[in-house]
Structure 1
Amino acid sequence: MKLFSKSCEYAIRATIFVGAQSFKGNKPGLKDISAEINSPEAFTAKILQTLVRHHIITSHKGPSGGFSIPIDSLSEIKIYDIVSAIDGDSIFTGCALGLPKCSENHPCPAHHKFKAIRNQLQDTLQSISIEDMITDVISGLTFLKITN
C-alpha cells in the first residue's frame, strides 16, 4: 500500500537530498538530484519547481547555481509541508471511501474509524522535520538510494 503519490515520494526524497547537500555547503543541480532520487529529469524539474514555489527549497541561477535549503530552515520544514505542497491536504481531510459529501454530520461507514488515523498521520508528519531525516541519512542510519 502506498501512502503518498509518486510525486510526493520524490519530493520528500529530493528535499532530504537537497537539505543534506546544503548542510555540506553544496548546491546540487537537477541532474544530481534526479539521479539520487531515481526520478526522470523532466518529472524532477516539475517537482522542484513546486517545492521552490512553496518556499521549501531555493533555486539558484547561473554557473554556480543549483538548489539549496537555508541551514536554519531545516528544522522548520516538516514532512507535512512537502505532502501539502505536492498532494494537497486530501489525505488528511478526504473521505476514506472517496465519497464527495462525507462529513461529521453525514459520515460514510469508515469516517469515524479513519478519523483518528488521519489525525495521527497529520500530527506525525507535522512533527518530523527535514533536519531529523537528514541527520539520520548523514549518520548512515537511513538511506535515500539503494546501491548495489
Structure 2
Amino acid sequence: MFSKACEYGIRASIFIAKNSYEGRRVSPKEISTEIDSPQAFTSKILQDLVRHNVIKSVQGAYGGFEIDKNDISTIKLSQIVEAIDGTSVYSSCGLGLKECNEDHPCPMHDKFKSIRNDLRDMLETTSLDELAKGLKKGDAFLKI
C-alpha cells in the first residue's frame, strides 16, 4: 500500500519523535541502523520530511534530526505519507490499474474504496505522539 520510502519515513519519524521526547537529536546513520534501511536512501527520505516541515535538521557538531516536543502530538501520519507518497494512496486502484474510477471500476473498486476511506481516517487521526509513546514503553518496535 505504501512505498518502501514511505514505510521508512514513518519509521524514521517515530524514532525521531521518541528521541526528541528524550531531548536527543539523532544522526542519519543512527536512524538508518534503527529502522533497518540503507543510509543513503534514508538521508533522501529525511530531506523530504524536512522540506515538508515534519522534522527539523540541525547542522553542526551537536546536530541531527529532531521534532519540537510541542509539535509531536500535532503531526499526523497523513502528513508523512503525503510528504513522501503524495495523496495517490487515497485514490489508487486496489489492482494497480491505471484507469479505475466510478465510471470504469475494476472488480474490487467498491470494496477497496471503503478500505481507502478507512485508511485515510486512520492516517488523519493517528499522531506521532501515540506511536512514539508505544515505542518508548516497549509496547511496539521498529525492527526485529
Q: How many residues align?
A: 144
1:73 partner SS: helix
Q: Which residue of 2 aligns with 1:69?
A: 67
Q: Which residue of 2 aligns with 1:127?
A: 125
* TM-score with structure 2 setting the length: 0.93
Runs of 4+ in 1 over 4 A off after TM superposition: none
1:99 deviation in Å? 2.9
Distance 2:21 2:138 in 1: 15
1:12 partner SS: helix
Distance 1:96 1:69 in 2: 34
1:81 deviation in Å? 1.3
2:110 partner SS: helix
**Alignment-mate amino acid for residue 41 of structure 2:** F
Work out the percentage of aligned pairs sharing the same amino acid: 51
Distance 1:51 1:72 in 2: 17
1:14 deviation in Å? 0.5
1:79 deviation in Å? 1.2
Deviation string 1:8-67 (CA, Å, 9 cap, x unpaired) is 111111001111111000111111111111111111100100110111000001111100
2:124 partner SS: helix
CA RMSD of aligned residues (A): 1.3
Deviates more, 1:7-16 or 1:103-112: 103-112
Q: Specify every segment of 5 or more residues in structure 2 that has no aligned partner in the other structure, as ranges.
A: none
Q: Which residue of 2 aligns with 1:103?
A: 101
Deviation string 1:82-135 (CA, Å, 9 cap, x unpaired) is 111112221211122333332223322221121111101110111111000011
* TM-score with structure 1 setting the length: 0.91
Distance 1:101 1:40 in 2: 34
Q: Which residue of 1 aligns with 2:54?
A: 56
